[in-house]
Amino acid sequence: MSWNDSVTEPTRRPTRSTYIPPYLRTTTSNNTTPFGSQTDFSSGPRFTAPNRGRGHGRGRWGQNRQFHDRSTNANPFDLSEKFDELEVVEDGNVGQGINFDAYEDIPVETSGSDIPPAVKTFAEIDLGKALNENIRRCKYVRPTPVQRHAIPIALAGRDLMACAQTGSGKTAAFCFPIISGIMRNPKSMSVPVWGGRGGGGVAYPLALILSPTRELSCQIHEEAKKFSYQTGVKIVVAYGGAPISQQLRNLEKGVDILVATPGRLVDMIERERVSLRMIKYLALDEADRMLDMGFEPQIRRIVEQMGMPRPGPRQTMLFSATFPTEIQKLASDFLSNYIFLAVGRVGSSTDLIAQKVEYVQEMDKRNYLMSLLHAQSANGAYGKHALTLVFVETKRGADALEHWLCMNGFPAAAIHGDKVQMERERALKSFKTGVTPLLVATDVAARGLDIPHVAHVVNFDLPKDIDDYVHRIGRTGRAGKSGLATAFFSDKNMPLAKSLVELMLEAKQEVPSWLTQYAESSSAYGSSGRGRRYGGGKFGGRDYRNSSKYNSGDDYNYTQYADSYAVSDSYAAATSSAFPYDATPNSAYYAGGGIDSNAVGSHGYNFDQEGIVASGWD
């Protein structure tokens, strides 16, 4: 079945309010650069037009063109922040650092009608030459489990609600099909928006990717640029806190995929600089977050009231590591005959993250953290190769703890929503580069951010919601590497006890007996997060449509099975461009320079569970 059978072919983008230079009105399908050869720009009617407008008029075309070329053709695979002594692994050695065992028998649940079968290799999917080349450049050898299932579904034009563990390659799972789909319809590909009198024209992106934080949008943009290198597919990012002018200029150069945070996008739509009329692909990253109480009205407005095509003509993909039932119900408004996909233990952390919970009184938290950091430091598990991310509850608390840590000789940065964007980015960068191997963060950093070398996540203040906990600890243990998560549990956290215990049991973690007792007594309050999963260690039943009161459909398939991945055939985790450090063997993480679990707390930790590399753990 061809693409066009299942999805309405987009018409040519409107030209009423945009001017498309004649030489761009027909593009060939195999252009490897967005504009074809440079000679196209050596002459032509566009240069004969007088300068006008705001100085971005026709006379600037040549300059814009050059600038654009430089920005899009710059090789995105160069890693500016690569740590010196680590090298990108060569082809053939990829996978060396992956904990293959952890991905054996990974549970997979799919439900919905006519589910396209999963693939085992990228070669089985025809993503096209340019994308295949980029997959090679990214050193992705095999698709990750979520990619194996999600990509065929997306390529078949189907709507998708996908749950996959943190750090399992979700970004690529929705980017590849979008880029591939856009390339299959070269006629619809974007051309520069004509900057007319009174300020710019309207950009008509074909795909929209929304995410809940600015930093995450940036990260998705960076990833997507790698995936779309030399495909001619143009990707622009738009988010708040940065001058809108440059973002608007980027839009004028043409946009196929717009990555955005909601507020700035709405602003641009209201300014009539972006139209959603031509959107064919919509992806919500961290979809449950996007649809929770604070965000939902804004997202609903964007998706339902700002000119975007309806589900059906539009293909919608929702991704998250967690998907509460109530949110699934909300999300189904945006979807049409969708497939539900869950890879890994839904809403659980990966087995790669060792979770510890310490009982610490509020007043003792700082001292406890200090001793923990000293122990790490003495163990060599502190520094730019072993970053520690500390989550706190409030913005004020983040500033206070950052200050206190610095005063006590631990260079820390802090990131939260009260900082201006430049400070936020500076904090993140100094953390990533190891200038400050400590980052104190609010939930702004809880989701999606991929920071290599986060060896330890400390929940200085535990979140109220177990899902937030899942996302927070997911900042470590990424791309098949193991990590450590330590939580400071105080009396305030009683309501979380039950769901925390359930989660830890599901992840085969050792649960302290005091916590089990708390969980049992707190269950009297009837509170278990939203009380919906982690029960009985059984997997499945996550698609709310499968609960009996919803399941009345006839042509409805429900599949629950364990994907068996032979060890040697296991996946090469998302690799080098995004995660340039996979050459580091897992064991080395704990054996040298890593966290020795016995060194980080007052109690000896005796982990002996699957999924954790034994070395260093005794």
Partner DNA sequence: AAAAAAT
**Pick from 61, 18, 98, 7: which is nearest to 568 by CA?**
98
Distance CA 389, CA 476 (A): 9
Question: 314 - beta bridge partners?
Answer: 311
For residue 285, the minimal CB distance to DNA (Å) is 12
Binding mask 184-223 for DNA (x = CB under 7 A): ----------------------------xxxx--------
- Cβ proximity to DNA: between 496 and 505 the closer is 496
Pick out residues in 385-414 that bind DNA (CB under 7 A).
Answer: 393-397
The DSSP bridge partners found for residue 559 are 110
The answer to the question of residue 582 lying near DNA (CB under 7 A) is no
Which one, 139 or 214, has the nearer CB to DNA?
214
Question: Of 186-194, 266-274, 345-353, 574-582, which segment contacts DNA by CB under 7 A?
Answer: 266-274
Listed ranges 264-272, 402-410, 566-574, 605-613: which one lies at the site for DNA (CB under 7 A): 264-272
* Owner of token pair 């692909």: 281
Which of 553, 569, 545 lies closest to 110, judged by CA? Answer: 545
> Among 17, 31, 185, 298, which residue interacts with DNA (rule: CB under 7 A)?
298
CB of 447 to DNA, least distance (A): 9
Does 270 help bind DNA (rule: CB under 7 A)? yes
Using rule CB under 7 A, residue 310 touches DNA: no
Distances (CA, A) of 432 to 54, 405, 542, 574: 39, 18, 35, 18
Task: Give yes or no for a contact between 578 and 90, defined as CB atoms under 8 angstroms apart.
Answer: no
**Could you tell me the smallest distance in angstroms from the CB atom of residue 516 to DNA?**
24
Candidate residues 264, 314, 471, 481; the one interacting with DNA per rule CB under 7 A: 264
The Cβ of residue 54 has, within 10 Å, a number of other Cβ atoms equal to: 12
Q: Which stretch binds DNA (CB under 7 A): 67-75, 240-248, 317-325, 429-437?
A: 240-248
Tokens, residue 73: 């053709």
Q: How far is the CB of 526 from DNA (least distance, A)?
A: 16
Q: What is the CA radius of gyration of the chain?
A: 24
Window 519 to 558, contacts with DNA (CB under 7 A) = none
Residue 178, both tokens: 């979008």
Nearer to DNA, 228 or 493 (CB): 493
Nearer to DNA, 316 or 493 (CB): 493
Please give the span between the terminal C-alpha atoms of the chain, in angstroms, as a whole number: 54
Q: How many CA atoms lie within 13 A of 420 on its CB side?
A: 3
CB of 424 to DNA, least distance (A): 8
Smallest gap from residue 224 Cβ to DNA (A)? 18
Burial 518-545, CB ≥16 within 10 A → b, else e: bbeebeeeeebbeebbbeeeebbbbbbb
Strand partners, 563: 106
Site string for DNA, 434-463 (x = CB under 7 A): --------xxx-------------------
Determine, following the binding rule CB under 7 A, whether residue 249 of this chain makes contact with DNA: no
- If the CB atoms of residues 214 and 225 are measured against DNA, the closer one turns out to be 214
DSSP for 232-258, written as a single string: ---EEEE-TTS-HHHHHHHHHT--SEE
- Residue 495 interacting with DNA (CB under 7 A): no
Among 133, 267, 326, 563, binds DNA (CB under 7 A): 267
Nearer to DNA, 7 or 235 (CB): 235
Range in contact with DNA (rule: CB under 7 A) among 37-45, 106-114, 260-268, 484-492: 260-268
As measured in angstroms, the least distance from the Cβ of 349 to DNA is 19
Instruction: Indicate the residue among 156 and 303 with the shorter CB distance to DNA.
Output: 303
Residues 261, 355, 376, 509: which binds DNA (CB under 7 A)? 261
As measured in angstroms, the least distance from the Cβ of 418 to DNA is 6
User: Within a 10 A sphere around the Cβ of 136, how many other Cβ atoms?
Assistant: 12
Q: Nearer to DNA by C-beta: 32 or 394?
A: 394
| Site for DNA contains 362 (CB under 7 A) | no
Cα distance between residue 104 and residue 510, in whole Å: 21
Choices 119-127, 137-145, 254-262, 491-499 (CB under 7 A): range interacting with DNA = 254-262
CA–CA distance, 66 with 194 (Å, rounded to integer): 16
Report the residue number, 1 or 293, with the smaller CB distance to DNA.
293
Place of tokens 């622009």: 236
Using alpha carbons, list the distances in angstroms from residue 264 to 143, 259, 261, 295.
33, 11, 6, 14
Q: How far is the CB of 258 from DNA (least distance, A)?
A: 12
Q: Could you tell me which stretch among 72-80, 179-187, 256-264, 492-500 binds DNA (CB under 7 A)?
A: 256-264
Q: Which 274-293 residues touch DNA, going by CB under 7 A?
A: 292-293
Our finding on whether 69 is near DNA (CB under 7 A) is no
Q: Which is nearer to DNA, 292 or 351 (CB)?
A: 292
- Contact residues for 160 (Cβ-Cβ < 8 A; gap 6+): 150, 153, 154, 316, 317, 318, 338, 339, 340, 341
HEC string of 46-88 equals: HHCCCCCCCCCCHHHHHHHHHHHHHHHHCCCCCCCCCCCCCCC
Q: Do the Cβ atoms of 498 and 528 come closer than 8 Å? A: yes
- Using CA atoms, how far apart are residues 398 and 396, in angstroms rounded to an integer? 5
Helix axes 244-252, 262-270, angle to 10 degrees: 70
Residue closer to DNA by CB (options 213, 528) is: 213
State which amino acid sits at residue 278: M
**Of the candidates 21, 128, 199, 263, which one interacts with DNA according to CB under 7 A?**
263
Comparing CB distances to DNA, the nearer of 256 and 292 is 292
Residue 155's closest CA among 346, 319, 5? 5
593 lies in the binding site for DNA (CB under 7 A):
no
Which residue type does 465 have? D
Candidate segments 26-34, 66-74, 262-270, 541-549, binder of DNA by CB under 7 A: 262-270
Instruction: Using CB under 7 A, pick the residue from 152, 262, 480, 580 that binds DNA.
Output: 262
Q: How many residues bind DNA (CB under 7 A)?
A: 35
**CA distances, 39 to each of 36, 42, 43, 69, 309 (Å):** 9, 5, 8, 13, 37
- Residues near DNA (CB under 7 A): 212-215, 239-242, 244, 260-267, 270, 292-295, 298, 393-397, 416-418, 442-444, 464
